[in-house]
């Protein structure tokens, strides 16, 4: 009876997870189907399990639109630059904080933890960004969020798992602290670095609220803001072409697919490090 109960539980659990996965994946699948559907079928709406009236006109329209490539370039810039700066500053912040002899270590850690519970708010942050001259600059999407308190804690947890003997050996060989950090610590920290990099990249790529607040020039728009304009009908005339058989719905769906495609391509290559780094940080935190 116990064996039958275990089999029944496993079967029920598998069915539940499969259904949950399908429900979760359907919105993206529907967007892909609508993006390849004709204007008439896309305007009808409803359930899409596959493209209706297959056509690639929506992709032809958005590929020939300069707004898409401007937004793509801006999103790539803030994602690559923001991820590099974020990972570097996070590692440089976390590494000294695992040293027992660092003066004021507890106070710094307390301040970092404090920011996880409280922040300055939208208006004070906007005024700060404005006063330092970053309004309508892509750097306004990078610098204010360069370091995350949670990422620092995860990085500190990982650094504590590294053998102290490696640092002592490097010190005996005459290496200074910066050399040890760059040549010993970082090469051994690939799992957590890849994890933090993936978190940072997804956050920067999907950054919408800050881009909406800080960017006024259309040439500085990133993909989420461009999608907002398309949905609101502000750039429909430039990106849709009824004469070519594409509709607003198809263009929105095609732009959505183009926006998530880079993350979908990169994630499988970082998944191994992502899982490893997440487990280490959660167990040792």
* Rounded Cα distance, 76 and 29, in Å: 24
Closest CA to 214 of 203, 202, 223, 225: 225
Q: Which domains are seen in the chain, by residue range?
A: 61-284 (1.10.3720.10)
Supply the pTM of this predicted model.
0.79
Integer CA distances (angstroms), 180 to 42, 132, 165, 166, in order: 58, 35, 12, 9
How far is it between the farthest Cα atoms of the chain? 74
pLDDT band at 276 (very low <50, low <70, confident <90, very high): low
Question: What is the chain's Cα-based Rg?
Answer: 24
8-state DSSP, 48 = -
pLDDT at residue 84 greater than cutoff 90? yes
The predicted pLDDT at position 86 comes to: 93
Q: What is the pLDDT of residues 220-253, one digit of tens each?
A: 888 888 888 877 766 655 555 444 455 677 888 8
**pLDDT for the residue numbered 265:** 82
Predicted confidence at residue 278, as pLDDT, reads: 59
Q: Are 147 and 90 in contact (CB under 8 A)?
A: yes
Mean pLDDT score, 194-215: 88
Q: Does 89 score more than 50 pLDDT?
A: yes
Cβ-Cβ contacts under 8 Å for 75 (sequence gap 6 or more): 204, 205, 222, 223, 259
Confirm if 91 and 192 have CB atoms less than 8 A apart.
no
Q: Name the residue with higher pLDDT: 78 or 68.
A: 78
pLDDT at 8: 82
Instruction: List Cβ neighbours of 93 (8 Å cut-off, separation of 6 or more).
Output: 112, 147, 152, 155
pLDDT exceeds 90 at position 37: no
CB atoms within 10 A of CB 214: 22
pLDDT at 263: 80
Name the band, by pLDDT with cuts 50, 70 and 90, for residue 285.
Answer: very low
In the DSSP assignment, the letter for residue 185 is: I
Comparing 141 with 262, the larger pLDDT belongs to 141
C-alpha dihedral, 235 to 141 to 77 to 261, nearest 10°? -60
Taking CA atoms, 219 is separated from 75, 83, 94, 144, 169, in Å, by 12, 22, 36, 21, 52
pLDDT at 226 (0 to 100): 85
How far apart CA 162 and CA 188 sit, in angstroms, is: 8
pLDDT at 75: 92
* Summary mean pLDDT of the chain: 82
Q: What is the structure's pLDDT at 249?
A: 79
- Return the pLDDT at 260: 84
């Amino acid at each position: 009876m116990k064996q039958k109960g275990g089999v029944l539980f496993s079967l029920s659990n598998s069915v539940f997870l499969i259904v949950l996965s399908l429900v979760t994946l359907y919105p993206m699948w529907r967007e892909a189907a609508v993006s390849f559907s004709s204007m008439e079928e896309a305007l009808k709406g409803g359930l899409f399990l596959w493209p209706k009236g297959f056509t690639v006109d929506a992709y032809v329209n958005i590929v020939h639109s300069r707004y898409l490539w401007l937004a793509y370039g801006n999103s790539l810039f803030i994602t690559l630059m923001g991820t590099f700066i974020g990972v570097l500053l996070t590692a440089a912040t976390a590494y000294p904080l695992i040293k027992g002899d660092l003066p004021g270590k507890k106070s710094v850690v307390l301040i970092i933890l404090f920011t996880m519970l409280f922040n300055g708010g939208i208006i004070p942050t906007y005024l700060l960004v404005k006063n330092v001259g970053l309004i309508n600059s892509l750097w306004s999407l990078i610098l204010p969020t360069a370091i995350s308190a949670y990422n620092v804690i995860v990085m500190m947890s990982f650094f504590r798992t590294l053998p102290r003997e490696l640092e002592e050996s490097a010190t005996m060989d005459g290496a200074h602290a910066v050399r040890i950090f760059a040549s010993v610590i970082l090469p051994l920290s690939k799992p957590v670095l890849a994890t933090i990099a993936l978190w940072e990249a997804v956050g920067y790529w999907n950054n919408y609220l800050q881009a909406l607040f800080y960017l006024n020039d259309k040439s500085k728009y990133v993909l989420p803001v461009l999608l907002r304009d398309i949905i609101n009908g502000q750039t429909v005339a430039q990106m849709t072409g009824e004469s070519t058989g594409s509709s607003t719905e198809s263009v929105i769906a095609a732009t959505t697919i183009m926006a998530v495609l880079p993350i979908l391509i990169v994630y499988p290559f970082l998944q191994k490090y992502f899982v490893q780094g997440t487990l280490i940080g959660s167990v040792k935190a």
